[in-house]
Amino acid sequence: MPPADLRSVPLDELERHLTDALGELPHGWTARRQALEHAADSPAKLQALDPLLLAVRALESIQTRLPTQFGGLRRGEVWEQDAISVSFDAWRRGQRVLVRALRPEVRADPVWLRRLQAGTRWPAPAPLPRALLLQGEWPTLEYPLHGPSLSQFLPADDRPDTQLIAMALEGGLAGLEALHARGQVHGHLSARHMILNQNSFELIWLDPVLAIPGSPAQDIRDLGKTVAALDPNGNDPIGELARSMAQEPPPSVDMARALLTRTLAEALAERRHELTMRARDQAKRAREKRLLTAIRRLGMAIAPPAGQFCLRAGQDKLLVVAHSDGIKVKGGPVAGMPARFMPRVWDAEQGLDPVASRALLRAWASRKTGDEVRRAEMQAELGADDTGAMQLCRWMSCQARLRAVRMLLELGS
C-alpha cells in the first residue's frame, strides 16, 4: 500500500508505484497522468489511485510551467523531488548542472525560500554554496556536476569492476559519515546521487524535506542496494558486501567502513595470489614454448645417416628396407629390390611418421629371428653394413623421443 502523500518519496519509488498501477510506464508525466486517469474506471479504483494522481499531477505542473530554457540553461528530465522542491538535470554549454526549483504552490513562501537557501550550507561531504537565483517567478538553485552519476553505469555487465564498486561504496560511506556526524540523514539516496569526480565518488545531498522520517540505518541500506546493482550476479566480494549491507545494515558508518577495508584487503590479497599464480604459469608456458622451439629445431638440425639398408629378411622372402638420402627417410616391407614404392618415414617438413618408424625399429630388433644369411647378402648388394643400419635406427629412436616430448609440451600449452 503506497503512502498517502507520494509527493516527497524518492523518484525511483514513485516510478515503482506507477509501474505496479499501470504495468507499462509511459514516457513523460503528462502521459502518465492521463494513463492513471484512464485506469481509474471505478470510484473505488479512483480513490486508490488518488495519491499517485496527486504526485504525478504535481510533477506535471512544475515541468510544464517551468520554462524549458532559462538563465542560459536547457532543462532536462526530473531528477529528484521532495515536499517543497523538484530537481532537474540541465545543461549549459555542455556543462551538466543540477537545478533545484520550488514547487509552484510554495515558490513565494518566505519560510520555504529560506529552507531552500539554507540547504546549500550543509551538503555532504563538501559544501557547494550557491546563491538563490530568481528565473522570472521561479526561485532556483544550481549545483554543477563535474562527472557522470552512478546511474549512467547501470545496468552493469556480468563482469563486475571491483575498483568501481569499492570507489562507489567508499564515496557513499564518506558522505554518509559527514552527514550522520551532524545528526542528519540523506533520505533520498540512489544511484543519481553518486557522482564520479576524477578518481572518487561524491555523495550529492540536497537537504530534502522528508514526509517520511529517514534514519542512518536506512541510509546505509539504500547505499548498499545502490552499489550492489554494479554486481548483479554476485561475482565480486565488494558487491557481496554491499548486498549484505542492503539486507542487514551495520549499526554505524564507522563499522561499515571497517568492513569495507577488511573485505577489500582480503579481496586484494586473493587477487594478488591469483595474479602470482598466473604469472608463474605464464613463465612456465614461456619456458615450455622456448623448449618446444628448441626441440623442433633440434629435430631438423640432426640429419639422418645416408644409405640404403636391409633391416630384416623374413623366412617368407619378405624384406624390410630403409632408404635415406640425408633429407628424407623412406622404408617398409618389400618383396624384392629395387623397390617401386616405400612409405615416408621422416622429412623436415612433416617430421617423423610414428607408425612407419615403429615398424622399421621392430624389424631391426627382430632381425635375428629371420633369414640372416639372405639379409647379409642383401646388405652386400646395397653396399651397406649393420653399423650404418644401427645408426639410422638410433637416429629414428631419438626422433621418436623428440616427437613425444614435443607432443607433451604442445598438450601442456
pLDDT one-digit tens code per residue, 262-305 = 988 888 888 787 778 777 777 777 777 777 777 777 777 778 88
Answer yes or no: is pLDDT of 126 > 50.
Answer: no
In percent, how much of the chain has pLDDT > 70?
Answer: 94
Buried residues in 35-54 as b, exposed as e (16+ CB within 10 A): bbeebbeeeeeeeebebbbe
Q: Kindly state the average pLDDT of the residues 374-395.
A: 90
Q: For the structural domain made of 150-268, what CATH number should be given?
A: 1.10.510.10
List alpha helices for 324-385, DSSP H: 354-365, 372-382
Can you point out the beta strands (E) in 272-327?
307-313, 319-324
Question: Is 98 or 4 the better-scoring residue by pLDDT?
Answer: 98
Sign of CA dihedral 71, 72, 75, 76: negative
pLDDT at 350: 82
CB 82 within 8 A of CB 208: yes
pLDDT, one tens digit per residue, over 183-242 is 888 888 889 889 888 788 988 888 888 777 788 999 999 999 999 999 988 888 898 999
Fold of the 69-144 domain? Phosphorylase Kinase; domain 1 (3.30.200)
Other beta carbons within 10 Å of 227: 30
Question: Is 46 or 324 the better-scoring residue by pLDDT?
Answer: 324
Q: If you average pLDDT over each of 6-20, 74-88, 120-134, 246-260, which comes out highest?
A: 246-260
pLDDT at 248: 93
pLDDT at 127: 45
Task: State the pTM of this model.
Answer: 0.63
Answer yes or no: is pLDDT of 4 > 70.
Answer: no
Answer yes or no: is pLDDT of 157 > 80.
Answer: no
For the chain, give every domain's residue range: 11-65, 69-144, 150-268, 302-412
